Structure 1
Amino acid sequence: MNLRTEPDRLVAIDQARQSATVALRPDEADTDDVAADDLYADRSLSLRTDRTTAYDTTTATTVETDWVSTPPVGVTVVEPASGTHTQIRREEAVSVGPDTLVVLRTPVLTLLRPAAEGTVRRGERVAVTFPEPTRIAVGFQSTADFAERTVRVTETADGVAAGITALGCAIETTSPDRTWPNIRSHPPALAFVDDDHEQTAAQFETPDTAIEVVVPREDALAYLLPTAPLAHYVGATVRVESGATARLRAGSVEWELGETPVAADQTASRLLRRTFYLDCLARSASPYGDELASHDVLTDAGFQAAQLYDASVAERVQQYLALDEETAERVDEALPAWHLGVHVQPSTTNALSLPHHLSRLADVYSPEAATLASIAERYEWGEQRRVRGAAAEASGPDMWVSPEQRAATVGWEAPRRALGAFNVCGTPRLHPLSETELSITVVQATLDYPGESVADHYEDRDLPLSVSFHRGIESEQLASLMESSGDLLHVIGHHESSAGIECQDGFCSRTTVDECGWEAFFLNACGSYQFAEWLVDRGASAGVATTRTVSNDSAARVGVNWGRLVSLGWSVERALSFARQVDDPSGYVAIGDGAYRLMQSDAPVPAEARVTKSGDDQWEVALTHDGPRQMGIQFTNSLTTNPYLGCSTGEWEVPRDELEEFLDSRDSPVLHDGDLQWDMDL
């Protein structure tokens, strides 16, 4: 984990690029490294109530200040003597004594242990204050463990089933707290071996949940991949059985998933969504749980959070799936959308990407998409149906598809290319965070394309960024730059499919780039998607490219909006989706890992905000936190009373002064009158 100590803040960033920022009183903060073990005098304090694991930290330090603060997150106070947990509600203040442990549910869990009495207040921010500067131990905990663990199985249906079972070792707790993202670690990698004796799946310890998923041997992979997310979350043992109908068993109760791969896929998705979100509501009974805004969904269905929290996984699944048809339909309609889904072509090769998808709790679908059979259909794709420029390159009749949108963010790992989804290519890689400051390079390939404004927008961000700008570059220089490494490469220029990106001395062909060390990139040049696929295949995590010719005005707006959004913690695909709502929906596509984020925002997931005038001095505000990462986290803001689950949309009608206060608290834009407005003029 990377811990940055600055005079006015501590920033902890883990290997998954999740971060926690603890603000300190300027000019009064003094920081010293401290051994993580020294943070705790009482090792009996347990984060997971069904385990004995203490609040172990990944890294720790001490500060001396009279005020520390974080964004609005869940707060639990743990008494050192009794181990009693007290959840602090919104607009509540609680006194804390010496050695009290304050647990803050930031994306990287933050733990504070002060040496003197103080007060914790949870309002628009969480603030811990003291009468005078006080010594405070600060620890950070992350489960983003990128240690090289590999489950080795044979390249058979039975081997893949055993591998999916073994991946369940990443979620050790069996209580509803398994919904918290910082409880779930990254699953091991999957690899194939030729000899049964080389298999290692049985060596990985998984919780005994008494849950099983069985799929038929006939066309087994078409069942195994779409049911893997459900099996992973509930901790199921997965088996392949000749002549079987796909089924889920919890304890002594069984349910058929479906007689076809598509039917099993759809049933597994529905059950995963219901089970996960009801577990999120049940965790309100935990010592550090919040009653969520949607808590009535649980009680209206006849459930009690305390009873569910104490039940086993199998018992909870039995109750969730025993709902009568009318109640089940009402519950399913009230729950949020799923955050991330990937259409995956069934194959043993694609099975190797399951650990990557399951690390985000992405749902996996049998590929479903409408074919965009002509360039004209590609232009018309999207609700806006905006037509800009002219197509310069030829396309095959079935080259592009429009996938079914079953989740807030959608990926495509199947033949052909997709609009409205990030296109998975290359091999999923674990990219630990560099220990240095984040580096961004902006390249204006030729002198006749404006690039300075893009660089300026990155530099305006108050973050530890290193921004460099190249104006006019030769082809060998561009190829060499692409082969170097950094966090974000933003290229602006002209591209021809047969030649490459135009430079001062000619064209830079993608074939001259042997490797790519950049985490993310934006190739803002016409028809650059094949170049982008080449860069991802050679090491980049993700990037954005154009599908065809785009106008200069549109390219400038999309490039600037996307660049500003990713620098604020938006994922590659989500930033692109937001930007293309107002500019050329079909002109841009994400390649590689669209869930990749350059950095963490102040909030765990930045909110998409829509503002509409509803009357004299009255405004409607709709907020959705639907990022493809951090599944299970909850959100508060200046408009909320109870926290919301991710992918929920909260709607409020507010007067002008409250809207101004809300806008002042945001650094991301709002969607108003069909445009992204960074500084909304009321």
Structure 2
Amino acid sequence: MSIDIDPLREADGITVTDHIENTQFEVYTDRPVEPRRRPESDHYFPVDASVAVETGSIEIPRVAVVETRAGDGTLLTHGDCYTMPDGTYHVGINPAPTKLYLAFDSGFSVSTTDRTTRIDLDTPGAVGLGFRSLHQTPAGTITTPTDPESLMGAVSLLGSALQTTSPERSFPTLRGHPPLVEPGDEFHAPERVEPVDSGVRIVVPPEYRYLYPVVSLAYYFAAEVVPGDAPRIEGDGWSYPLEPGFEARTAQVLRQSFHMDCLARTEGFYPVDLHERETTDLDLDWERLYDLPLAARLGEYLDVPFEAVEPELPQWTLTTDVRPDPANVEMLPFVAGELSIVRSPETVTPVDDDGGVGVGFLGGSDRSSSAATRREVPVGGVAPDGGALGDAEFVRGAASAEATRGADASADRGAVAAQTDFVRPEPVDTVEHAWVGDGVPLDANKATLDAYHRRLEAGQVEQSRISVLVVCNDEQMREEGNVADLYGLRDMVQFDIEVRHDLTRAEMRETLESDVDFLHYIGHVDDRGMQCAEEYLDLTDEDLEIGVSAFLLNACQSYQQGEALVHRGSRGGIVTLSDVANSPATTLGRIIARLMNSGFNLRTALHVAKRELITGHQYIVVGDGGTTICQSRSGAALVLNMDQRPDSSWDISTEIYPNGPYGLG
């Protein structure tokens, strides 16, 4: 049991302890109570724990919205001040440290103060209280040997985090974070990590290249993963082959089953008129499907040809390439928790010289830094119109005296370190693309384990203001410093925005160690580090405690400095892989500022920026690409595309990107 419920000792009410989220809060009553266990089925929504108490009121020490449903689940009203007549009610209180639901038979009134929310019953009596962990952190850590067959036991437990096996698990709030996995000599799973009997089995050969691509399926289906020759998914009385085209078929199963769950759930808690329910032309009994066990429902889903639903499938959010290496097993719960399509490439294409279009001089292990001078490629790679940049457009490295502040620069300054291997992953059809394994990927997020662990440590921070620091260390780049005007253009979000110029080395150290939500750095970077007013600060050599949460290092070849920021404490950031010319870098910086201010995460912000600016492909994300600095007002991040017609009217289309706590579903 992940939630404990006990009577308060010094007040009337109960204390609720969530061992997954490590949270504790109090619920007050108007008299002493002795909570007694009640069936979880007493509540309309799924709960982890349920008790009943005799009381005339329920009060929680926070301002919340109270949502009231009739006994059959019909939504009646919601708000923070209203009355309801006699009846049978299911009541939800949000937000609370856990999901909190009440069930009772009585008229009642809702009232709030500046600190509390209170429900007073017209007739005191039995009130059922149901609690469900928000489960945004793992319930525990599974220790396992890392050979593929042993690892299958850990992957089979990823689905233990699901709050339900009904189609409602397509809602992100009903999918908890999978348990963590770490290497060990023997297999061990914590008591709170319990397998879910979904009736689904995934059979794959005991090899990493087959096991890694099914981790999201194992999580979403709460499936048991077992060794076998022919890759397939099995249920009671049915089997679905995953070959030919193993990885592609695995992705199709995830997309199709998830989409059909979203259609079937309209027969459940939220009977809404869903657009896709009408346009997905399938002659299916959705009410019957909704009531089937997971395995039987999945079997009927997979009887439908993928081609029949493909036209209505939205673009999937994320593809993650996980190299088939035992060193990557600890990343699997994070990848599965994002419901990522997973590929496991055995081979990878190294980046050879490609004619100097912006990344070709990023040599592999056989390149020396002197062979990668800026004088051997068009300065800055490509211009916004696709042509080579002329000498008049200076770059954000330190290749010449005109582009340098505070120090002389030799011809080979700014070359990427010789030991850096750049790889070119296969293209993806998803919005976002992450890479797990050795090498620096072009056009993909270089995901790292330490950054994902910081996502868990960050949790849901409740803060009233978001801090943004813009640092401009070059006089010629002051135009981009105006991005400060683009942060904070939000009615409901308060920003603390500061712009600083020409920081010294000591001031830059102090800045990086400060508790800043987002650092927008404008200046020069080369192999000596980040240029300051009088000298350089090399983050790969300095032992710093980094406090900056996320960043944009808008300077030439800033990958290694950004990687060092993540290694030393940041969650993630946007960096460059090559020389970047000042003008397009300024444009991209302004685009990123607007998108981050609007609630986009790092990966999606860069995805949108790349569509607007060809030089965006000189940038990648390092660390946790899902990092945001604030939430969008609607939950999802929006892009509006506007095209003017000849008659002066406009065509407007909307692209919606799942983001942060508002994930897929």
Is contact 1:44-1:54 (8 Å) kept? no
Stretch moving more, 516-525 or 310-319 = 516-525
**Runs of at least 5 residues in structure 1 that lack an aligned partner in the other structure:** 1-13, 18-33, 69-74, 119-127, 635-682
Deviations 1:71-108 (A, max 9, x none): xxxx97412xxx2211589xxxx996589666699999
Moved over 6 A (4+): 39-44, 104-113, 115-118, 138-142, 379-384, 395-398
Match status 1:553 vs 2:531: no
Q: CA RMSD in A?
A: 4.3
Whichever residue aligns with residue 349 of structure 1, its letter is A
Structure 1 residue 479, shift from structure 2 partner:
2.6
State how far apart, in whole Å, the 2-side matches of 1:590 and 1:315 are: 41
Amino acid at match of 1:614: R
Contact 1:527 1:547 in 2 (8 A): yes
Equivalent residue in structure 1 for 2:538, among 509, 525, 528: 509
In the alignment, does 2:581 pair up with 1:593?
no
What's 2:213 paired with? Answer: 226
1:215 and 2:215 aligned = no
In the alignment, which residue of structure 2 is the partner of 1:432? Answer: 459
Q: Could you say which residue in structure 1 is the equivalent of 2:638?
A: 607
Q: Which protein has greater RCO, CA pairs closer than 8 Å, 6+ apart?
A: 1
When residues 166 and 319 of structure 1 are mapped into structure 2, their CA distance, relative to the original with a 3 A threshold, is same
Q: Which residue of 1 aligns with 2:74?
A: 86
In the other structure, the counterpart of 1:245 is 230
**CA pair 179-456 structure 1, distance change in 2 beyond 3 A:** same
Following superposition, the deviation at residue 444 of structure 1 comes to 1.9
> How far apart, CA to CA, are the structure 2 residues paired with 1:216 and 1:459?
52
Residues 255-404 of structure 1 aligned to structure 2 (within 5 Å): 255-258=240-243, 263-298=245-280, 300-323=281-304, 325=305, 328-367=306-345, 372-375=351-354, 376-378=356-358, 385=386, 388=389, 399-404=422-427
The match for 2:594 is 564
Q: For the residues of structure 1 that align with 2:656 and 2:131, how far apart are their CA atoms?
A: 24
Q: Give the conservation status (yes or no) of the 8 Å contact 1:403–1:412.
A: no
Counterpart-to-counterpart distance in 2, 1:594 and 1:383: 25
2:172 counterpart of 1:181:
yes
Q: Residue 187 of structure 1 contacts residue 359 of structure 1 at CA under 8 Å; is this kept in 2?
A: yes
SS, match of residue 569 in structure 2:
coil
Q: Distance in 2 between matches of 1:52 and 1:623?
A: 40
Residue in 1 that maps onto 2:429: 406
Find the aligned partners of 2:471 and 2:335 in 1 and give their Cα distance.
32
> Which residue of 1 is the match for residue 43 of structure 2?
46
TM-score between both structures, scaled by the size of structure 2: 0.74
Contact 1:47 1:54 in 2 (8 A): no
CA distance in 2, matches of 1:87, 1:417: 50
- How many residues end up aligned between the 2 structures? 564
1:503 positional shift: 0.6
Relative distance call for 1:101 and 1:252 in structure 2 (3 A) is: closer
Question: In 2, Cα distance between the equivalents of 1:304 and 1:465?
Answer: 50
2: distance between equivalents of 1:383 and 1:162? 51
Match of 1:674 in 2: none
Q: Deviations over 1:593-633 (max 9, x none)?
A: 11221221111211121011134243211112123555765
Give the equivalent residue in structure 1 for 2:504.
Answer: 474
Q: Which runs of 5+ in 2 are unaligned?
A: 1-17, 53-58, 120-129, 360-380, 400-413
Measure the CA separation in 1 of the matches of 2:383 and 2:349: 13
Contact kept, 8 Å, 2:442 with 2:620, in 1: the verdict is yes
Q: In structure 1, how many angstroms separate the alpha carbons of the residues matched to 2:571 and 2:424?
A: 23
Deviating more after overlay: 464-473 vs 307-316? 464-473
445, 451, 460: which is aligned to 2:473?
445
Pair 1:169-2:166 in alignment: no
- Structure 2 residue 568 is matched with structure 1 residue 538: yes
Structure 2 counterpart of 1:271, one-letter code: V
Q: Report the equivalent of 1:153.
A: 144
Could you give the per-residue CA deviations for residues 632-653 of structure 1, whole angstroms, max 9, x where no partner exists? Answer: 656xxxxxxxxxxxxxxxxxxx
Which deviations, in whole Å up to 9, do the C-alpha atoms of 1:347-394 show, x marking residues without a partner? 122121111122221221123876653353446999974655679655
Query: Does the aligned pair in 2 maintain the 1:403–1:421 contact within 8 Å?
Result: no
Q: Secondary structure at the match of 1:580?
A: helix
